[in-house]
Structure 1
Amino acid sequence: MERMKINILRLAEVRWTGAGSIILGSKTLIFSGEHTHERGIGILFDVAAAKSLGSSCPISDRAVVAKLVAKPLNLGIIQVHAPTSDSEDVEVEKFYEEIEKAKGYVKSQDIMGLMGDFNAKVGMKE
């Protein structure tokens, strides 16, 4: 059986506190969480992708930015984990503000990738 090759993997519900980066075997994980072991977000890089990692910026337990040095353009990856559609409006608005803040860390001449779990709900409304 052939193994799947993954260079960059987005993670939601990491549930780690604080923010930072850590080397896990041959992988590098950048993560961002709060004070409790709830939610949390991360991006996992293989060795090749981690060599291109220029910087990262934790925004919140729902958003993190990684900047990769590349040619001809650098790449900004924004990983998010949205609140569910039944969340309070204040929490949803805060999430969209965090996306805007994250976008501010990516230069206009860089390629920006936005990925994540946008928590859509399906089914009949009761």
Structure 2
Amino acid sequence: MKLGSKTLIYSGGHTHERGVGILFEATTAKRLESWCPISDRVVVAKLVAKPLSLGIIQVYAPTSDSEDVEMEKFYEEIETAKGHLNPQDIIIIMGDFNAKVGDERVEDVVGPSGIGTINERGDRLIE
């Protein structure tokens, strides 16, 4: 969808309760090779770049009130999205994970600039 000079790719419903998207500036949108809506929580875009292509997976995780089965489905959808990209691509997975990872360094996964106390969803995200 064009929004002025910007391009929005979106995956989700029409009730404004769920959905996820990425908004690209015009110059970046010209590099958009493909995109795929995985679910109302995950969308993947592939951009032509040099020396490697860039894959962006945008997510919106279920809240902590959600059942574990919904969280497992969410992480499976991320794996499905990764399957749309080449392993050689630079892959960025970003969005709202509805998780707290704490404020302590965890190997090379989490830096010391987080907030709050790690919760169960944070443990799963780090895993």
TM-score range normalised by the length of the shorter chain: 0.7 to 0.9
| Corresponding residue of 2:48 | 69
Aligned residue identity for 2:69: V
Among 35, 38, 44, the alignment partner of 1:56 is 35
| Corresponding residue of 1:103 | 82
Q: Deviations over 1:21-60 (max 9, x none)?
A: x000000000000353321000000011001000000000
> Alignment partner of 2:78: what SS?
helix
| Corresponding residue of 1:42 | 21
> Alignment partner of 1:28: what SS?
strand
Query: Is contact 1:34-1:60 (8 Å) kept?
Result: no
Instruction: Report the RMSD for the aligned CA atoms in angstroms.
Output: 1.6
Higher helix share: 2
Aligned residue identity for 1:65: V
Higher strand share: 1
| Corresponding residue of 1:82 | 61
Distance 1:120 1:108 in 2: 26
Aligned residue identity for 1:119: N
> Alignment partner of 1:64: what SS?
strand
Aligned residue identity for 1:81: Y
How many corresponding residue pairs? 103
> Alignment partner of 1:56: what SS?
strand
Moved over 2 A (4+): 34-37, 120-123
| Corresponding residue of 1:7 | none
Distance 1:48 1:71 in 2: 15
> Alignment partner of 2:15: what SS?
coil
User: Percent of pairs identical after alignment?
Assistant: 74
Aligned residue identity for 1:47: A
